[in-house]
Amino acid sequence: MKIGFDHEKYLKEQSKYILERVNNFDKLYLEFGGKLIADLHAKRVLPGFDENAKIKVLSYMKDSVEVVICVYAGDIERNKVRGDFGTTYDMEVLRLIDDLRSYDLDVNSVVITRYEGQPATTVFINKLEKRGIKVYKHAPTKGYPSDVDTIVSEEGFGANPYIETTKPIVVMTAPGPNSGKLGTCLSQLYHENKRGNEVGYSKFETFPVWNVPLKHPLNIAYEAATVDLKDVNMIDSFHLEKYGEMAVNYNRDLELFPVLKKIIEKITGKESMFQSPTDMGVNRVGFGIVDDDVVKEASIQEIIRRYFNTACDYKKGQVDKAALQRMKFIMEELDLKPEDRKVVNPAREYSSVLKEKCEDKNDMCPVMAIELEDGTILTGRGSDLMNASAALILNAIKYLGNIPDEMHLISRTILDPIVELKSQILSSKNNSLSCQEVLEALSICAVTNPSAAYALGKISELKGCQAHSTVMMTKDDEQTLKKIGIDVTCDPEFASQNLYYI
């Protein structure tokens, strides 16, 4: 993989800048936008970026840091899912706590924002408290976000309980966007100032990258990732007017800035040190870019992946038509086509060949294609025995291990009992083996079959490879490929005419 980003340079620059900011205050409330852990979007668009870079920055300063996790009650009620991992937000909070602890970071508490007694959220609160996690409940803030006099009063932020914090850097993070991080930070500023404490606020938002051009593919890739939120990148007019310097921000921050500045000034009783939304940020990711061409190409490919993801989400009814139209506009803006993703045409062409041979022309003939590190493109087809993703992985590891295609790595004495278990005992309507089931069968055969063991060891070489399916995959198969490290996209076609059984 070509490297476009210097991870070590970024870590040093970012840590230094945060510490410089906190030196201005007794305590700094640092709002983290995006993913604190496993930032896979950043990893894809910035080749060389460590997906856990942000938490490693905090780990360097762990003695000065404590973490507060915000989650919006409404997201828990509707079982909102983090797309890249397929986990609901309540489960994502638990995972986040475990991961933070693994880096020896102090988890102060969980804040339930806009809480109004929702039943599922109340169950989640009880679950957290039973495990010894401190929970704060914040109701919707009266007057927020525009009525400054009401917001900065005892019936506004004053109605929220004060979160007891002790360290100089308090990180506000969340499982996803619109979780109430900003409101919680401002609420804390209100309570801290009432107590006579000198505290500040800053924002750590990786994208858009403020010191990269507005129409750079890296920043456009951020718009593609947030089409459902309707985020639009814009020039920070406040920054341009104050400093005569071009900086990129996005519509929500620009629209909110005048009110946010007034809120901070009313809380502190003095003029804000921030003259623009860009001033509020501490993000230094742009200074880690060492090869702009590599970053541009990686970002373009991410935009195409986002196009396929949005098209599939629209087909499933998970996003509206406006999101899909916005995604198409982004593609047209950069003169991109879905076929600019190398694995798309090979998968579609093989599927077309199979359809010609099928008696039933309505048969979808699922096919997957993968591009290996050396540029080789391989395909796999679905069958009654195994689905296309399982067939593809077997074909790929055979190729990487120079194992003849006709050699069977998995014995029928292993496969047949699994099929029988699914069909006869578990009464599954779909007996075709999934990718994970085939890999588990392969691992069993590896105990006695040296070729199977050798092939199993080649799976790690698939990390970072690109794949495409002619039909939408099951969530389980999609997650298995993501765990392997394969970036997979799908055509927006259902794999079956069935509504439930796939």
Mean pLDDT score across all residues of the chain: 93
Query: Which tokens go with 299?
Result: 């970002």
Residue 361 pLDDT > 70: no
Share of the chain above pLDDT 70, in %: 98
The reported pLDDT for the residue numbered 1 is: 75
- Whether residue 145 is preceded by a cis peptide bond, meaning omega within 30 degrees of 0, is yes
Query: Which tokens go with 345?
Result: 């045409």
Residue 483 pLDDT > 70: yes
DSSP element (H, E) containing 28: strand 27-32
Q: Which of 266-280, 381-395, 411-425 has the lowest mean pLDDT?
A: 411-425
The reported pLDDT for the residue numbered 444 is: 95
Matching residue, tokens 């920070």? 236
Domain ranges of the chain: 7-288, 341-490
DSSP string computed for 321-349: HHHHHHHHHHHHHTT--GGGSTTHHHHHH
Share of the chain above pLDDT 90, in %: 80
Any bridge partners for residue 380, and if so which?
Answer: 368
Using 50, 70 and 90 to split pLDDT, how confident is the model at 29?
very high
Number of CB atoms found within 10 A of residue 264's CB: 23
- Per-residue burial over 25-40, b if 16 or more Cβ lie within 10 Å, else e, is bebbbbbbbbbbbbbb
The reported pLDDT for the residue numbered 163 is: 97
DSSP element (H, E) containing 171: strand 169-173
The reported pLDDT for the residue numbered 183 is: 95
The fold of 7-288 is dip2346 fold like (3.10.630)
Residue 359 pLDDT > 80: no
The reported pLDDT for the residue numbered 501 is: 59
The reported pLDDT for the residue numbered 84 is: 67
Residue 412 pLDDT > 70: yes
250-307 confidence digits (pLDDT tens): 999 999 999 999 999 999 999 998 999 999 999 999 999 999 999 999 999 999 999 9
C-beta separation of 70 from 173 below 8 A: yes
| CA–CA gap between residue 140 and residue 161 (Å, rounded) | 12
pTM of the model: 0.91
C-beta separation of 56 from 102 below 8 A: no
Of 3.40.50.360, 1.10.10.60, 3.40.140.40, 3.40.1160.10, which CATH number belongs to 341-490? 3.40.140.40
Residue 38 pLDDT > 70: yes
The reported pLDDT for the residue numbered 145 is: 81
Residue 495 pLDDT > 90: no
- Whether residue 119 is preceded by a cis peptide bond, meaning omega within 30 degrees of 0, is no
- The predicted model gives 316-326 an average pLDDT of 95
Using 50, 70 and 90 to split pLDDT, how confident is the model at 427?
confident
Using 50, 70 and 90 to split pLDDT, how confident is the model at 426?
confident
The reported pLDDT for the residue numbered 500 is: 67
C-beta separation of 32 from 182 below 8 A: no
C-beta separation of 355 from 363 below 8 A: yes
C-alpha distance from residue 144 to each of 149, 155, 156, 254 (Å): 10, 11, 8, 17
195-228 confidence digits (pLDDT tens): 999 999 999 989 999 999 999 999 999 999 999 8
- The predicted model gives 54-80 an average pLDDT of 93
The reported pLDDT for the residue numbered 98 is: 96
Using 50, 70 and 90 to split pLDDT, how confident is the model at 176?
confident
| Parallel/antiparallel/unpaired status of strands 87-88 and 81-82 | antiparallel
The reported pLDDT for the residue numbered 462 is: 97
- The predicted model gives 52-74 an average pLDDT of 93
- Per-residue burial over 50-86, b if 16 or more Cβ lie within 10 Å, else e, is bebbbbbbbbebbeebbbbbbbbbbbbbeebbbeebe
Using 50, 70 and 90 to split pLDDT, how confident is the model at 355?
confident
- The predicted model gives 369-376 an average pLDDT of 96
Q: Which of 31-40, 97-106, 178-187 has the lowest mean pLDDT?
A: 31-40
Residue 169 pLDDT > 90: yes
The reported pLDDT for the residue numbered 81 is: 84
